[in-house]
Every structure is written in structure tokens, then in C-alpha cells.
Amino acid sequence: MNKITFGVAASLLVAVMQLSAQTSKQITIKNSTKMSATDHYTFPLSDQVTRQKVSFKNRYGITLSGDLYLPKNTTHIKLPALAISGPFGAVKEQSSGLYANQMAVRGFIAIAFDPAYTGESSGEPRNVTSPDISTEDFSAAVDFLGLQENVDRNKIGIIGICGFGGFALNATIVDKRVKAVATTSMYDISRVNAKGYYDKITPEERTKTLEQMSQQRWTDAEDGSPAYPATHLPDQLKGDEPQFVKDYFDYYKTPRGYHERSLNSTKGWTITNALSFANMPLLTYIKEIAPRPMLLIAGENAHSRYMSEDIYKAAAEPKELMIIPAAVHVDLYDKVDIIPFDKLETFFTTHLK
């Protein structure tokens, strides 16, 4: 894979678009960005599940918006529960809600939530985050679940998707109430923003990008609001982009996964968002998840696979790495015939006890 700077990776998809050369070939999905966000979910709700909107505050006083998924006919039974979020730049009406719906069918109470500063959650300015706040959001969701009368607060786990896989692991390290954690298509956002994909950026490239973002702060301060990239995922591709960019496009910019509150479907993170991650590494204390179990799931052909493999090597037992044959990164966002929900059910049923 070509080298990219962490500043390029800062908005993840913006950056990789800059790797592409100009060609005349065009790929477009008509009207993909015209759907209404009102009550729009990218997946059907199971008839075995109820969904209700909820809200709760994190430790910093930011109100988070979530959807609580409940198995039907279980109101008088204390059940195990799961907090679910991700991917990085997505909203609860996308992948995390799909996961919560599927896990509720399997007997878990599950909350899918919008992280701070995104979706329907509060926080200003919009579309910005930090390693600490994104980690805290998971613990705040655990707070909420543990206050529900029908939740067994001794049986709470976390599922993190994509970038929120890294935050899920980070939250589990410090929050000992979490009894088990699973990730799919895990991204270590701090690592990729600080070092680029496969840790390929040079010190000179890092310095240059930090200088650019530092100068951008003057502009933002003068304007009184943060700037956003001129290009995130466009409404059309030129055709010569890296395959994983095409995969992202196929999810975020088509009816398959488009949502107008999703950063990755629209304008992306602020230009200076990566500053929060440049020198604040996640997962330094990954061994401290033990003796609680972790399950890392990645696609065989995912560009992010190496991140799950590296965390698996660094973590202490009990741990498990599951590679899904032929799957790419975004297959684990929404393809219910590929996502190993039976494995997730077994994992949490076994360990939330």
C-alpha cells in the first residue's frame, strides 16, 4: 500500500482519495445522497425485537443519543447486555444498529449509540473527537445499561466496529465492569493517524503534516469554527482508486449504507481532528484486559487486518482471532451472511456469566 501521512489518514477516507490519479472513467450511484435521515435505518428491524430511543450523559456532560434494542417478551427477566458503536464516522442507524438488532434477536439487551459530537448526540463543534472522549463514550453506555432494571450489570460486554473497535478495547482496559469485548474490522485510530497505514510515514512526513494542521488552527481560530476537508468520499469515483476506497464508497455512498448524519457519507471529520490522536496512543495497556476475554474478528482481504493481528499478538490470554475467508473490511459492517453472529452469541453467552 502506498505511504500516506497521518494527516491524510486523519479523515481516513479523504486521505486515500488523494492517492488516486485522474482518469476519465466515472462510477456513480444516482440519488444515493438524497434519502431522508428521518427514521431512516439501513437495515430492517427484526419482528422479535423492540427499539426505543434513549439518551444518557458521558463523564464530560455530553448527552449521547442511542437506540436500545430489547428482545420481545423478556421484560421481567434480567438479561446480559452489550454496548455497541462504530464504525468511526458512522451513526447508530448504520452498522452498530444492525449489530444491536442481531444480538437482541439472540437474547441480549443491546444499545447502539452515536458517539459525542456526531449523529444525534450533542457536543460542539460537530464532527470532532479525541481518544479519551471516544473511549469514555463506551463507559457511559455501560453506565446506562447498568441502570436498567432488566439488565444484569454483572453481565455487560462491548462490541466495537472499525475505529470503535480500538476504543472498545481501550475502554475495556480501564473499565473493569466490562466482562468481555469483541471487535470487528478493528482500527487503531491513534496508530493510523500517528504513523500511517503499516506505520510507513517518515519523521519528515509527520513533521510536515503536523505543521500544516498547526497552521490550520490559525485559520480556524480566525473563522471561529473548524474547517472540513474539501473532499471526503465524493458522490462518484474516477475508477482507479484503491480497492478499499471503492469498498467504503459502496457502503457509505450508496443506498446500502448511506445516512445523511453519517460523517463518512457526508463531509467527514474536521481537518485538525488528527491532532488529538497524533501523540496519544491507544491500547498501551492492552495486556490489562486479561483475564477478561477478547475476540478479534477481521476479514481475510481487509486492508485493516494487520491491526487486529498485531493486537492479538500483543494481548494476553484469553484471546481469540477469527479471520473471515475472502471478506473485506466493510463486509463486516452489514453483511449478515458473513458477519459471524453465531460466534458472537457463543462468545458472549459463554463469558457474560
* Contact (CB, 8 A) for 85 and 96: yes
Q: Phi, psi at residue 181, to the nearest 5°?
A: -140, 140
DSSP-based three-state secondary structure for 323: strand
pLDDT for the residue numbered 8: 35
Fold of 6-351: Rossmann fold (3.40.50)
Helical (H) or strand (E) element with 171: helix 163-174
pLDDT for the residue numbered 232: 73
Set of cell numbers at residue 112: 447502539
pLDDT digits (tens, 9 = 90+) for 228-282: 987 678 788 988 889 999 999 999 999 999 999 999 999 899 999 999 999 999 9
Tell me the DSSP string of 48-94. Answer: TEEEEEEEEE-TTSPEEEEEEEEETT-TTS-EEEEEEE-STT--TTS
**Domain positions in the chain:** 6-351
User: Region 140-146: what's the mean pLDDT?
Assistant: 98
pLDDT for the residue numbered 21: 28
Set of cell numbers at residue 190: 491513534
